[in-house]
Chains A and B, each alone.
Chain A
Amino acid sequence: MKPINFVVCVKPVPDSRYWDRLRLDPNTKLLRREGIPIVINPMDINAIEEALRIKEARGGKVTVISMGPANTLEILAWAYAFGVDDAVLLTDRAFAGADTLATAYALASGIKKLEEVDIVLLGNESLDGSTGQVGPQVAEFLGVPHVTGVEKIDFVDDDTLHVRRKIEFGHMVIETKLPVTLAVTGEINEPRVPSVFGALWATEKEAKQWTVNDVKVDNERIGQGGSPTYVPEVANIELQRRSEVLKGEPAEIARQLVDKLSAEGVLPGA
């Protein structure tokens, strides 16, 4: 069996358990996210897990790559704890403010610097933006086919995969040659819990840090300047209703609610 070289793209996202702390600054109109820990985007962990499983069966190497400020190293330490071989962080002010296109372009430039890559994996979407756009766009910049919504990867032979992807109420199985980019869903596997050895491994490893000077990029295609999209404003959404508070003992609240819902005619059979 041919060993497989993987690159897994991982995104730092604000931990969803703390999302209620996200606040819009009324003056700057910027999103304040102080005190919210970052984690590896959950579906990217499924991507790491899938890469590790295939590597364990067939041999090869797993490298994770991310883009972000220096604190992104925290999540790359986690990736090491899962057992990846190597980690790369693209970190430079020039990369900042990138939309999905400029992000994909930068990630692809980092991936091209790595030796021969057979499979690029990443989560199908991120927890925060959930655009699902980076995978197909990385693939475009690498000049390889992509499949999104992947829930199963099978090897037909050393260079050919059968990839099962989700569609509405079903699935498709797509045959593709390597190299390829695959965006995986949360259903593809059950990620492992990092072991004590993994944690030790993580303390001994440090991610490579690459600036714009370390990769071949067109400076006009990275960062905010290389991003076709721009966000001129963010606003709180007003989805307010009357918010009538029902009080009392549980049984009393239940009676009140049933009376009100009956009166509004929204109970079934009404």
Chain B
Amino acid sequence: MQIDTYKGIWVYTEQREGKLLDVGPEILGEARKIADKLGSELAAVVLGHNIANLADELAAYGADKVYVADSPVLEVYRSDAYAPVLEAMVNEYKPEIFLVGGTSLGMDLAPRVAAKVNTGLSAHCVGLDVDEGGCMKAQTPAFGGSIMASITCAIHRPQMATIPPGFMKKPEKDSSREAEVVNVEVKLTEDDVRTRVVEVFREEPKTKPLETAETIIAGGYGIGSKENWAVLDELAATLGGSVGATRPACDEGWAVQEVQMIGQSGKTVHPNLYIGVGISGVIHHLIGIQDSKVIVAINRDAEAPIMKAADYAIVADYKEIVPALIEEFKKLGV
């Protein structure tokens, strides 16, 4: 692979039903900084049907160039259609770095594209560091433990990474910016695609999403049972807050992964107050709560990693502390 023939930074900016998801602009904001550092061109890549209108928006978020692949065959996401189109684009235009928003569908697409073009892909990156030579180090929490791995992709291009939604800050729109639009010819036809979308169902969440909650009570494996979990709901209700959870708690069925799981492959939260109960604090969870203004941890184990990551550490049985807290908050009339 002639890696020096690969130039520029690409961001896959996912759209659904013709609307850009936030994650694309979020990554464009971060990628803009890298592109400026390297003196590289920053391109947004968007696939879909009747989506030409998105190019201006992507320019406003910082793209120098927008590749638009517009075809009826790309109307709704299918890996079997999107991956070969991106494969052809990568092979033709040869980007040096290719970043993809780690949504459910982005995580479905990126690995298939990476395999097609035989390159490396880092998952769930929470930080990117690119040296002068254009070599990217992707910061990825690993092993669910207490470590962060730096992942490089030295001799394959493009260097690919998925970045979770909500991690990077969405830049301000600058409508004065303009981008060169490249309309990509889509050779793929419906006959080439082996799958068909039968139904798309989407329901706006009824409860306030965790990402915007100002108070969060989160529970972990230490809660011990579904019955015990109720006390977290009660504490949250007292404070008008929302209840989040760790992965083990979701795995146990005490909480709903899709709406409640906080952490690397779940949600990133930014509350004023986060109270973690019965949570040991593996890094996967901690990186999702680091933007909290104040972190309180309640755990029987004084050595649990969350204790060091907390502003206030309470070494005690939550079964005694949480009811006392509920009583105290009620007195306050919050």
Contacts and interface: CB of A to CB of B under 8 A. Distances in A.
Given A22-B143, A243-B310, A254 B324 contact: yes
Given A174-B196, A229-B153, A264-B294, A24 B146 contact: yes
B316 A186 contact: no
A133 B111 contact: yes
B316 A137 contact: no
Nearest to B137: A232
Given A99-B120, A174-B78, A267-B273, A22 B146 contact: yes
Given A130-B123, A145-B194, A176-B194, A16 B312 contact: no
A239 B287 contact: yes
Interface stretch (A62-70, A111-119, A203-211, A245-253): A245-253
B115 A268 contact: no
Size bracket of the B interface:
35 or more
A239 B80 CA distance: 41
A34 B287 CA distance: 25
A265 B293 CA distance: 10
A250 B265 contact: no
Given A31-B145, A240-B308, A133 B123 contact: yes
- Chain B interface secondary structure, helix, strand, loop or mixed? mixed
- Chain A interface secondary structure, helix, strand, loop or mixed? mixed
B328 A255 contact: yes
B150 interface: yes
A130 B144 CA distance: 9
A268 B215 contact: yes
B152 A232 contact: yes
A239 B286 contact: yes
A165 B78 CA distance: 12
Contacts of B76: 172
B147 A235 contact: yes
Contacts of B313: 243-246
A261 B274 CA distance: 11
Interface string A131-153: 11111110111000111110000
Interface string B72-91: 00001111100100000000
B118 interface: yes
A128 B142 contact: yes
Interface string B93-120: 0000000000111011111101110111
Nearest to B102: A132
A227 interface: yes
A177 interface: yes
Q: Which of A100, A172, A247 has the most CB of B within 10 A?
A: A172
B251 interface: yes
Contact of A228 (B118, B196, B258): B118
A43 to B, nearest CB: 9
B105 to A, nearest CB: 6
Contact of A239 (B109, B195, B201, B290): B290
Contacts of A136: 79, 108-109, 111-112, 115
A132 B247 CA distance: 15
B142 to A, nearest CB: 6
A232 to B, nearest CB: 6
B115 A173 contact: no
B121 A101 contact: yes
A258 B121 CA distance: 46
A137 B201 contact: no
B214 A242 contact: no
Contacts of B199: 171-173
Interface stretch (B34-42, B63-71, B177-185, B202-210): B202-210
Given A20-B280, A230-B152, A129 B111 contact: no
Interface string B133-163: 0000100011111111111111110000000
Given A14-B143, A129-B142, A167-B200, 20 more contacts: A19-B144, A133-B107, A133-B121, A137-B115, A140-B115, A169-B202, A175-B196, A237-B147, A239-B309, A240-B309, A242-B311, A244-B313, A245-B302, A251-B324, A251-B327, A260-B312, A264-B294, A267-B239, A267-B272, A270-B334
7 contacts: A22-B143, A131-B124, A132-B111, A241-B311, A245-B312, A245-B313, A250-B321
